[in-house]
């Protein structure tokens, strides 16, 4: 049996146990190595991603603020990007996840790497917007990471780690200047994605920016070299219900589906960068009927940066002018 089939079967079994996130942590730590954070591996890549999300906010906000508020979808194991945004001027950050994945040992490790990168100058090179006052506070608090819970430590940085469905965030209308996710939206079933984007639009002000990095590749292809990143397009919806798992589900949506979902939520896409897989890999598989109506470019896209902004609502005067039609000359 292929290793990806073994892994998804194991994840399906784990999802039926009490506290499946704890068992998944054991799997990640001792089997797949997913929790082995390396300073010049995942840590550095997430810092680079932080800069990109921040740069998108600065570039596309109609009125960017020096001190800005942030909503993150998907806290995960390593809150590297929220801490990076705090260092760049975020005054308050709400980060949502449906389970608590934060651990003291993993948080201590990433704080250690923040301190290391600050000492070597790599932090300011990757994140040139880092504020000296915010960095000084992080370095001052660093020893506390071993003494308090991860949630309490993050609170000292005005980062609120909430175990809560983001579709019911409880935040006030227009309270977020920036909304982002990184490798998360691909796990939302389509109805849930629509509700989440609608809620995120509600908490956005007219000057807000939403920045999302979305993966459409088969997530098992990263460790099972016997399959390609297009493997998940081979299976019918019926077969995929058995192969998918609720622990880390894949919705298999394509980039056109995300564009449509953004538009229906009232978000204009102002920037997009797609990363495609090899045409030969796609040609090597037989597509399931569900994917035959997509064009080739749509199918080739494996990862995308999608940046959105709330659709501008016309003022009352503009609406009246539009209703009257063109002025006669």
Other Cβ atoms closer than 10 A to 227: 19
* pLDDT score of 328: 42
Closest CA to 161 of 109, 97, 84, 204: 97
- pLDDT bin (cut points 50, 70, 90) of residue 15 is confident
CB 119 within 8 A of CB 39: no
Please state, in angstroms and rounded to a whole number, the distance separating the CA atoms of residues 210 and 310. Answer: 9
Work out whether the CA dihedral 36, 301, 180, 87 comes out positive or negative: positive
Q: How many helices (H) and strands (E) does the chain have?
A: 14, 7
Q: Which helix (H) or strand (E) holds 117?
A: helix 104-120
Structure tokens at 312: 């501008």
Grade residue 312 by pLDDT with cuts at 50, 70 and 90: confident
CB 268 within 8 Å of CB 308: yes
- Check the CA dihedral 81-87-88-92 and report its sign: positive
pLDDT greater than 80 at residue 118: yes
pLDDT digits (tens, 9 = 90+) for 55-65: 999 999 999 99
Pick from 127-131, 244-248, 311-315: least confident: 311-315
> What is the rounded CA–CA span in Å between residue 161 and residue 98?
11
In sequence order, which residues have a C-beta less than 8 Å from that of residue 173 and are 6 or more positions away?
202, 203
pLDDT computed for residue 73 by the predictor: 98
User: What is residue 217's DSSP assignment?
Assistant: S
Predicted pLDDT at 207: 97
pLDDT tens profile 44-102: 999 999 999 999 999 999 999 999 999 999 999 999 999 999 999 999 999 999 999 99
Residues 6+ apart with CB under 8 A from 17: 23
CA 263, 267, 268, 273 dihedral sign is negative
pLDDT tens per residue across span 33-45: 566 789 999 999 9
Q: Could you write out the DSSP letters of every residue in 9-53?
A: HHHHHHHTSSSHHHHHHHHIIIII-TT---IIIIIHHHHHHHHHH
Domains and CATH numbers, the chain: 37-216+253-312 (3.40.50.150)
What lies within 8 Å, CB to CB, of 198 at 6+ separation is 265, 266
Q: Is the pLDDT of residue 325 over 90?
A: no
pLDDT digits (tens, 9 = 90+) for 125-167: 999 999 999 999 999 999 999 999 999 999 999 999 999 999 9
* φ, ψ at 4 (rounded to 5°): -70, -35
Task: List own/partner pairs for 141-144 with CB under 8 A and 24 or more apart.
Answer: 142/111, 142/112, 142/114, 142/115
Task: List, for residues 223-242, the tens digit of each pLDDT value.
Answer: 888 999 999 999 999 999 99
Pairing verdict, β 301-310 and 204-215? antiparallel
Percent of the chain with pLDDT over 90: 80
What's the pLDDT band for 27 if we cut at 50, 70, 90?
low
SS3 (DSSP) at 226: coil
- Say yes or no to pLDDT of 321 above 60: no
Cα distances (angstroms) measured from residue 328 to each of 318, 319, 320, 323, 324: 17, 18, 16, 14, 11
What is the pLDDT, as a whole number, of residue 163? Answer: 97
175-186 pLDDT per residue, tens? 999 999 999 999
Q: How confident is the model at residue 327 (pLDDT cuts 50, 70, 90)?
A: very low
Task: Kindly report the pTM of this predicted structure.
Answer: 0.90
pLDDT confidence of residue 28: 65
Pairing verdict, β 267-276 and 301-310: antiparallel
pLDDT over threshold 90, residue 210: yes
Residue 329: the pLDDT is 34
Q: What is the pLDDT of residue 2?
A: 73
**Average pLDDT of the chain?**
91
């Amino acid at each position: 049996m292929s290793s990806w089939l073994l892994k998804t079967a194991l994840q399906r079994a784990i999802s039926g146990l009490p506290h499946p996130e704890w068992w998944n942590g054991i799997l990640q730590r001792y089997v797949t190595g997913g929790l082995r954070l390396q300073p010049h591996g995942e840590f550095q890549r997430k810092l680079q991603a932080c800069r990109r999300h921040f740069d998108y906010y600065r570039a596309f906000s109609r009125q960017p603020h020096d001190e800005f508020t942030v909503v993150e979808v998907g806290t995960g194991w390593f809150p590297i990007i929220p801490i990076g945004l705090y260092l760049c001027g975020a005054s308050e950050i709400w980060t949502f996840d449906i389970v608590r994945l934060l651990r003291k040992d993993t948080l201590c490790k990433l704080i250690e790497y923040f301190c290391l990168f600050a000492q070597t100058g790599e932090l300011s090179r990757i994140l040139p917007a880092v504020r000296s006052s915010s960095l000084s506070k992080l370095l001052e608090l660093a020893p506390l990471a071993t003494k308090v819970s991860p949630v309490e430590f993050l609170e000292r940085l005005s980062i609120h780690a909430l175990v809560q469905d983001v579709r019911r965030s409880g935040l006030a209308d227009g309270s977020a200047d920036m909304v982002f996710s990184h490798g998360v939206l691909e796990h939302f079933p389509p109805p849930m994605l629509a509700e989440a984007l609608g809620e995120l639009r509600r908490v956005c002000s007219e000057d807000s920016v939403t920045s999302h990095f979305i993966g459409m590749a088969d997530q098992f292809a990263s460790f099972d070299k016997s399959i390609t990143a297009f493997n998940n397009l081979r299976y019918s919806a019926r077969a995929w219900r058995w192969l998918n798992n609720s622990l880390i589900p894949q919705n298999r949506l394509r980039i056109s589906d995300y564009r449509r979902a953004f538009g229906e939520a009232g978000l204009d896409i102002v920037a997009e960068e797609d990363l495609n897989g090899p045409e030969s890999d796609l040609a090597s598989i037989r597509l399931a009927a569900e994917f035959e109506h997509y064009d080739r470019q749509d199918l080739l896209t494996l990862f995308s940066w999608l940046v959105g902004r709330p659709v501008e609502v016309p003022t009352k005067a503009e609406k009246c002018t539009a209703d009257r039609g063109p002025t006669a000359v």
